Amino acid sequence: MQDYHEFLQEILIDETTLQRRISELGAQISQDYAGKNPLLICILRGGVLFLTDLMRQISIPHTIDFMAVSSYGVGARESTGHVRINFDLKTDIYNRDVLIVEDIIDSGYTLKTVLEILETRHPKTLSICTLLDKAERRKVEIPIHYYGFVIPDKFVFGYGLDIDENYRSLPFIAAVDPARYQPTE
């Protein structure tokens, strides 16, 4: 594994800023879902750090579940409309207030398919909470109810987000300098 300092362009969102925003989101969600026992669905694997920090900032009863999807694209960095469920929920979401917890929305293709699949199971409500919104890259419209930060069109890593599966554990969001990043293989 390369040391990320070699291709670090900049730290986009530092740990303090990230955690402060997550506690604001948790407070807002606690207020909006009071009395509702929402189900938070984490999309693996990128959303894991966000979910575990967010749920500790939610002061009302709630449950969690996980789902993994993969999208096949032209290159490893781009997704297309072809999304497959690799790991499905254990919870029956019928008539539940469901909140999807995502790391980042880029083109929107992945989440659009996830929304379509979950809608067929008739939850009472279905909303989205994404930490990052790469808004200018959007190809399909996605209704975002909660977001942490809108970020520019840069490839980012850290805090759950990977570069070829590495660096997910970094406590901040960093941008890659494309001129200095060499794939490890």
Using CB under 6 A, which of 53, 97, 106, 133 touches ligand IMP?
106
Is residue 155 a contact residue for ligand IMP (CB under 6 A)?
Answer: yes
Question: Cβ–Cβ contacts within 10 Å for residue 180, how many?
Answer: 12
Using CB under 6 A, which of 93, 100, 131, 156 touches ligand IMP?
156
Backbone angles phi, psi at 101, to 5 degrees: -110, 110
Backbone angles phi, psi at 176, to 5 degrees: -85, 140
Q: Which of 3, 106, 162, 164 is catalytic?
A: 106
Is residue 130 a contact residue for ligand IMP (CB under 6 A)?
Answer: no
Residue 120 vs 165, nearer CB to Mg ion: 165
| Measured distance CA(145)–CA(151) in Å, rounded | 16
122, amino acid identity: H
Task: Please tell me whether residue 122 adopts helix, strand or coil conformation.
Answer: coil
- Cis-peptide, bond into residue 56, ω within 30° of zero: no
106 tagged catalytic = yes
Is residue 67 a contact residue for ligand IMP (CB under 6 A)?
Answer: no
Is residue 107 a contact residue for ligand IMP (CB under 6 A)?
Answer: yes
Chain residues binding Mg ion by CB under 5 A are 46
Chain residues binding ligand IMP by CB under 6 A are 46, 71, 79, 103-111, 155-157, 161
